[in-house]
Structure 1
Amino acid sequence: MRTRLRGSVADGKNLLFFNGIFVLLFTPSTAPSEDTYIEAAMFDLHPQLANDTETVLELDICRVLLMNDSRYPWIILVPRQENLVELHDLDADIYPRVMAEIRQASRLMKELFSAHKVNVGALGNMVSQLHIHVVARHEGDVAWPGPVWGVGTAIPYSQADEIGRAARIRRGFDAYKTS
């Protein structure tokens, strides 16, 4: 579903994503004119992803989620665009930007968690909404050397550990922006 909103976005900096909705911010110089329109896509996170994760931050294209399984450093990137199931469903101009965010996330997870290997996957067999798993792996983790999916029972983070892990990942992404 697309909603037509009146407004001037100038360089896009007055469009804010907040609590799952887009909010337009206007100053007197960016107030809407009658002939200026933008399209803002409504974005809904799949209920299973919402249940199993915590939002860490918003990148330019993707929402970064922390998987609530303390056995692995595990984030999920979800492009904020409607009706995406497969990577090839991304618009041609968005695809390389999503790939760049996946690359950034992979490097970050390897560095932050001294990973032996980083697993990246977009399976979608259980949740059809396009989402990309980025998992920092260590020799000897409970699923090593196999995949993390379907191995044992998730061990949820304590609230303090979840806040700490999310903050660490957020700081890592922030450091990438400034370097």
Structure 2
Amino acid sequence: MDIEFGKLLAAAACHICIQIHHGPTAAEIKALLTQQSLHENIKSGDSGSLLHFGGLETIFADDIVLEIPGLGIKVQGAAKITGDDVHPDIPSASDVIHPDHPIETPPPVVIGGGDEDWATAILNSTAKTHHGKDWDHETVALIHFNTEGKIDLLRATSTPPTSRSTLRPLLPSKGWLGGD
């Protein structure tokens, strides 16, 4: 390789590196996830869907995609994902979790972000349902950042797997999940 071509290649690589804009750091993601606690959200009486983002929605791309493969859920658009009717299989948090019992949410674990295109967040919560059953929930979310540092993909799974059959006994009889 001649010297001039090497300089040109190095300049192009440097230009590409400068053009890449990365997302928030792990600490910034953690701070956003804990901005509004799940307990405060449910006690407010306007909890929205069972999806709880803390303050993460402030960095959603308009065309964000939410996928929960274990439930066959795929939703697109920031307005839809943060709305009350995100998906028929995702009920309101206040329809599942009893607001008068403590809701424990230890700080999330966040790996990645910053100069990476991806981050992983592990979130846990324990509570009581309206039926007095234990809510012991862990969500692992893969988060992808676009070139503007906005989240364009959230892919989540939960333990125990949340499905129609596991949510049904936790819900009051309000017609959620069909046939209730």
TM-score by length of 1: 0.27
- Decide which structure has the larger Cα Rg and report it: 2
Which fold has the larger relative contact order, with Cα–Cα distance below 8 Å and residues 6 or more apart in sequence?
A: 2
